[in-house]
Structure 1
């Protein structure tokens, strides 16, 4: 059993370093920090670090550790919630002695010495809870770990609205709610957006483009982000907004970066989009993916592909 193999490796190492993907969301941090909280409570003699870039809007989840390269020597490295190696935050993940991948995205780009990939899970945080449940006689769940895993599940299921939410997901959430943390606060922290982002939302709704088949796009130039004093990470709160419009079937946010390329956030209510994302330096889930576009010409190519996907789905 892969879970037992992972636990035995965890037991065998004195130093563990846990990574996750760049530009983290609640599930990336929830699975990373939640796993660390479980392991620290279960193995207090071990030294456990969490590393990666900080995300200002998610400071309530926890903070990263700053460590020297030498700490990786002879260490076990675990990467959570990251489909492909280029997206791993902190590129030193290969300096450890052994690398374990734990993820719920399609395993299109395998990496690591040991891989546990379960695509039917709503989130990587759900997988981490299952890991605890498999070995509840050997591992310790804490209030803080439960808070973090619950936040990760809430974030990746859109507060249990997305199709990835299963009866097992709800059961896991129910079990986590037995621990002492403020679930209402977590839901508010995940859904709240700053005032400056709310102002940008007004621009987005006024400038959204949508064709007759319900394929929508919003382009946010870098100059606009500067005008509203909004960072790229802040725009994550805008992703679900077009999906609340009844006629929208598929949508994308194209957010220009300081260097001129565009971060692409793709969402769909039906047609699969992760194949399209992979064609443009990205990937993800069938209905929620990310990609990149080098310029406005590629932005338009992606949008036209989206239109073809939806048109084809309506013909079948």
Structure 2
């Protein structure tokens, strides 16, 4: 679908040209993203797949990884054998390090492209375009696709949803004038910001009931709020690990909660963590515990119960000395 609104990309022309040169070279393109995907990971992956499929209808373009996060809008992932990936072009979005890529078969691909907005901790890819100042992977992917005018209502909706969820409806510090310009551009292709807002930022009675049951488990000290969901509690609520982690947002928007964190016990007894902050840098703490991410939003994984306590102590120290 052509669009009359002109928007100049800030991506270097050499990067754009190399990206499309590689895309055009391969008959099969496999798009990956990080494990435990959020809206930005799904949005960048699904938006890229849909748009490139429209631009190159004779190519085989697949989106790979697990399902089951409970997020609306996004389609199920594709299922392919190793032969499909072998010799293909792999595009990896929204994933700072290879260890976190969902579906480890990405290594079978002949060529790798990395597109990301996290601080770079693992340099990989035959072509790597990483811009930590961007709001989301979806913002970067949108710019790449706008060059070819290959967006439509479906792809632009995936991408706008990813931008909205990663920026919490354009309210965090990585939201820039460029972010809003790109979001506006996506809307001209048919992405409906009101519909997406209702889809991702409202809740049904079941979710509200779970929040009510989780609220008494929230603890608070020295500006830090946290919620620990052990396996027994998680299973009693009928939640997967990925679904449980999304309940971190029940602690957001409270003035006294300068930093908030959720820790979810997995089947092996280790914990997956998610950290958020109003203003104090927290990704340096996450990096010490098999994690990382943005300055004010980070993830951790493979934590022991002792690790959880250590992380909380360091968060309180950071808040008190920030």
Shorter-normalised TM-score: what interval?
Answer: over 0.9
Aligned to 2:103: 90
1:74 to 77, 80, 87: 87
**1:17-36 superposed matches below 5 A:** 17-36=30-49
1:198-222 Cα shifts (integer Å, max 9, x gaps): 233223322322223x111111111
Aligned to 1:125: 138
Find out whether 1:53 has 2:66 as its counterpart.
Answer: yes
Find out whether 1:145 has 2:155 as its counterpart.
Answer: yes
- Whether contact under 8 Å (1:273, 1:289) holds in the other structure is yes
Find out whether 1:253 has 2:244 as its counterpart.
Answer: no
Aligned to 1:186: 196
- Whether contact under 8 Å (2:227, 2:261) holds in the other structure is yes
RMSD: 1.5
More deviation, 270-279/185-194 = 185-194
Query: 1:102, 1:301 → 2: CA distance?
Result: 33
SS of the equivalent of 2:135 reads: coil
Find out whether 1:163 has 2:176 as its counterpart.
Answer: no
1:97-143 Cα shifts (integer Å, max 9, x gaps): 1011000001111122210001111100000111123x23xx41111
TM-score by length of 2: 0.92
Deviation of 1:4 after TM superposition, in Å, equals 1.4
Aligned to 1:2: 15
Deviation of 1:181 after TM superposition, in Å, equals 4.1
- Distance 1:59-1:215 versus aligned 2 partners, 3 A rule: closer
Deviation of 1:48 after TM superposition, in Å, equals 0.6
Aligned to 1:231: 240
Find out whether 1:283 has 2:292 as its counterpart.
Answer: yes
- Whether contact under 8 Å (2:36, 2:69) holds in the other structure is no
Aligned to 2:116: 103
Query: 2:124, 2:269 → 1: CA distance?
Result: 30
- Distance 1:293-1:309 versus aligned 2 partners, 3 A rule: farther
Aligned to 1:272: 281
- Whether contact under 8 Å (2:245, 2:264) holds in the other structure is no
**What is the total number of aligned residue pairs between the two structures?**
309
Deviation of 1:279 after TM superposition, in Å, equals 0.4
Query: 2:280, 2:110 → 1: CA distance?
Result: 41
Query: 2:246, 2:264 → 1: CA distance?
Result: 13
SS of the equivalent of 1:78 reads: strand
- Whether contact under 8 Å (1:293, 1:299) holds in the other structure is no
2:185 to 167, 171, 175: 175
Aligned to 2:129: 116
Deviation of 1:59 after TM superposition, in Å, equals 4.8
Deviation of 1:293 after TM superposition, in Å, equals 4.8
Aligned to 1:199: 209
SS of the equivalent of 1:119 reads: coil
1:173-209 Cα shifts (integer Å, max 9, x gaps): 1111112244322212212345443233223322322
Query: 1:198, 1:223 → 2: CA distance?
Result: 20
Find out whether 1:14 has 2:27 as its counterpart.
Answer: yes
SS of the equivalent of 1:105 reads: coil
Aligned to 2:250: 241
Note the residue ranges of structure 1 that are not aligned, 5 or more in a row.
none
